[in-house]
Structure formats: structure tokens, C-alpha cells
Amino acid sequence: MHFNNAKIVRRRPALNTYRLFISTVAVFYFILFGLAQSQPIPDYTILKTPGKIVIDGKLNEPGWQNIQFTAPFVLHTDGSAPVYQTKAKMLWDKKYLYIAFVMDDPDVWAKTKVWTDGPNKCLCREEVAEVFIDPDGDGSKYLEAEINPYGAVMDLWLEKEFKKGGKGDLAWSYKGLKIGITVQGTLNDSTDVDTGWICEMAFPFKDIAPTAPSLHFPPKPGESWRLNLYRYDYLRTPENKSELSAWSQTDKERGFHAPDRFGKVVFSGKKADKK
């Protein structure tokens, strides 16, 4: 009887230590998981162009040279760092919102030279830069554009996000969208090592205006919008492994279509004429 009691006394500390270890691990996991799911929504101040912007994918005008990049993109599901970095810059003038993606990529490739509407032909099955714009931030009537390294465009209008029953209207299209692409390497050549590619875009305010009748187009200095920037990168391997990154982290369940997680931009009246 005394021997059995002694055994019980020895086991309890071990059991309690084990339970404490499991509890600590669980708490640590949920803290990390919660932080990954609740990254703050980023913001960016968009300065005005000091002069003409030529949409050629080179970004050599003073306006581009004098402004800061956004924060680096993160994996859209958990906010961790992707293997291949993406950053962006934004400018504006009275006619256009300018957005430029700068993307690291050792193997830049594309298949579609001109996108045409049709089933199972989402341009996102290739490497693309994507821009989602919801000016009034109400989660409805927002726009999407996907652009690949050839400069092919797939754009659409959404009344609401897919998880809420929304459907993309592929009949809609930007009428005045301008695109410039440069590849730092060789497009569609896997035998060499590329540096990356740049996608420079000019979105006409007059094409965006119908999504938000209560706002001004062009915006008045101080007005803010909600938008998000995304990137698909695919490795040309049998498993077609991909990295899906975003300026503002969304979540795994909704994918990119999470308007409440779009980043915040403010249109400044200041010109980008100085660093």
C-alpha cells in the first residue's frame, strides 16, 4: 500500500509537466495563428505625377523614381514572406491611377498573348499581376484586372464577392487601360535565369467612376479608396507549384476576393517631384 502511494506521488509531477507543456504549445500556436490572421491592413499615400508618365514598363520618369514602394507582398493566406518578392508603386493625375508592380522571378513565362472570354480560361492559370479596385470600400461593385507578361488582360466587374454569391461580369472591360511590360531576362526561356518583370498600368478614372457614384473622379486630395494588389507566380514544374501573394493579406477561404481586407490608399495633392 505504501509502495503504490509512492508510485502515484512520482507520476503526478510528470503528468502535470506534460499537461503544462501541451497547454503552452497550444497557446503559442493559437497566438501565432491569430497574429497571422490579423495582420493590419496596409495603407499608402498616392502622390501626383510631376510630369508625363509613359507606360512602357521602365519606370524611369522622375515621378516613379521619387516615390516609395509599398510594403513587400506577403502570402495571402497567412501573411508569411513568399520566396519571390513583389513590391508596387502608385501615382495619379487628373486622368489616371498609375500602378506599377516590380516582381522578382527567375523564370518569367506566359502563354496567352490575347485573352478571350471563354470557360476555363482564367488568365490566373499563368503568371499575372492583379489589381482589385473598390473606391468607396463598400464591398460591392468592384473591379478586377489580371495582366500577364505578354500584356494580355482579363478584366471583370463584380457586384459582390464570390463567397456572398457574386459573379464576375466578363463582358465588362476597361476601355482605356494602358499597360507596359518589361522582362529582366528572356520571356519563355527556362534555360536561362531571369531577374524578374515589371508591369506598369494606367487605370482611367472615367472607367472606374460607375462603381462609386458618391465619389469624385478624379479624386479630390485627401479622398481615400480601398484596393488590393496580388500576384500569381508559377514554377514550371510537373506539379505547377504556385505562390499567391498580396499587398494586403486576405484569407485562404475567400482567396483574393475579400474586399474588407483590401488595402487603403489616400490621394495626396503633393507632387512626386522630390525624394
Q: What is the pLDDT of residues 221-261, one digit of tens each?
A: 999 999 999 999 998 776 668 999 999 999 888 889 999 99
- Whether residue 203 contacts residue 174, with contact meaning beta carbons closer than 8 Å, is answered with yes
pLDDT at 38: 56
Per-residue confidence at 10, pLDDT binned at 50, 70, 90? very low
Give the CATH number for residue 200: 2.60.40.1190
Same domain, yes or no, for 194 and 233?
A: yes
Residues 143 and 186 in one domain: yes
Instruction: Specify whether 61 is located in the same domain as 166.
Output: yes
Residue 27 pLDDT > 60: no
**Domain identity same for 23 and 97:** no
Question: What is the mean predicted confidence (pLDDT) over 164-190?
Answer: 93
Inform me whether the pLDDT recorded for 67 exceeds 80.
yes
- Is the CB of residue 49 less than 8 Å from the CB of residue 98? yes
Q: Do 128 and 6 share a structural domain?
A: no
Render pLDDT for 29-65 as a digit per residue (tens, 0 to 9).
433 444 445 589 999 999 999 999 999 999 999 999 9
Q: pLDDT tens-digit profile of 79-114?
A: 999 999 999 999 999 999 999 999 999 999 999 999
Which DSSP state fits 49?
Answer: P
Claim to verify: residue 19 and residue 123 sit in the same structural domain: no
Q: What pLDDT does 165 receive?
A: 80
- What does pLDDT average to over the chain? 86
Q: Do 7 and 52 have their domain in common? A: no
Containing structural domain, residue 28: 1-38
Q: How far is it, in rounded angstroms, from Cα 237 to Cα 233? A: 12
**Is 242 in the same domain as 150?**
yes
For residues 204 and 264, membership in a common domain is answered with: yes
Other C-beta atoms within 10 Å of 60: how many? 10
Examine the domain organization and report whether 245 and 115 are in the same domain: yes
Do 99 and 1 lie in one domain? The reply is no
70 and 154 assigned to the same domain: yes
Q: How confident is the model at residue 274 (pLDDT cuts 50, 70, 90)?
A: confident
- Report which of residues 72 and 9 the model is more confident about: 72
pTM (2 d.p.): 0.85
* Count of CA atoms in the C-beta half-sphere (13 A) of 65: 8
